Amino acid sequence: MPTNPAVWFPNVRCHSGTDTFTERLCRALNAQGIRAEITWLPHRAEYAPWSVPVPKPPTWANVVHINSWLPPRFVPPGLPIVVTVHSSVHDPALLPYKSRLQALYHKHWIHPIEAANLARAHCVVAVSHYTAAQIEASFGIRDIQVIHNGIDCQAFAPVARTAPNRPFRLLYVGNWSARKGVDLLGPIMERLGNCWVPDDCVALL
């Protein structure tokens, strides 16, 4: 890896948390004096990469950072590659939450893409130890660096208090998906009974 990195992010715009991750990482690198820039690709680049022109990396870039799902068509040769794995869709525990079409897509499209990217990577990063373990199990990749997703402590900080709030308020952050546990919200609220107010349960999608 270069001693003075300058990072290019070719990234598929998915309108999900991975977009936010990339934007915040790019902004933080620039704030630290490390030049970084994102080139956004349309969502169809994920499933129809041949329909999207291949962007050229900036001449100043000496490191490429990609999401593990980026089709290899968009990964430039000759530059060090950092691959971040945000989750493992190949985890057997997720099978009950997939449709047949999703399972086929993950197995026959995403798995080969990730395998190719991980094989080329100079560094592989996972956002949790669990994800790292799943990637090792699925691809035989070792020496995975775990860097947890950060939290903006200026925007999200605990309120100083000595007793629980009444009525109870629940903030759910994530996609409205059973895979992320939203199916548990109803039973949880039922157990809480009258100590919560439905209008105070907010989901940020």
φ and ψ of 97, to 5 deg: -100, 5
Q: CA–CA separation, 167 vs 85, rounded Å?
A: 38
Q: CA–CA separation, 141 vs 10, rounded Å?
A: 23
pLDDT at position 178: 76
Predicted model pTM: 0.83
Residue in this structure with the two tokens 């939290």, named with its chain if needed: 151
Q: CA–CA separation, 145 vs 201, rounded Å?
A: 35
Q: CA–CA separation, 83 vs 63, rounded Å?
A: 11
Q: CA–CA separation, 60 vs 17, rounded Å?
A: 27
Blockwise average pLDDT, block size 10, the chain, 205 residues: 90 92 95 97 97 96 97 96 96 91 96 97 97 96 92 78 73 75 81 59 45
pLDDT at position 16: 87
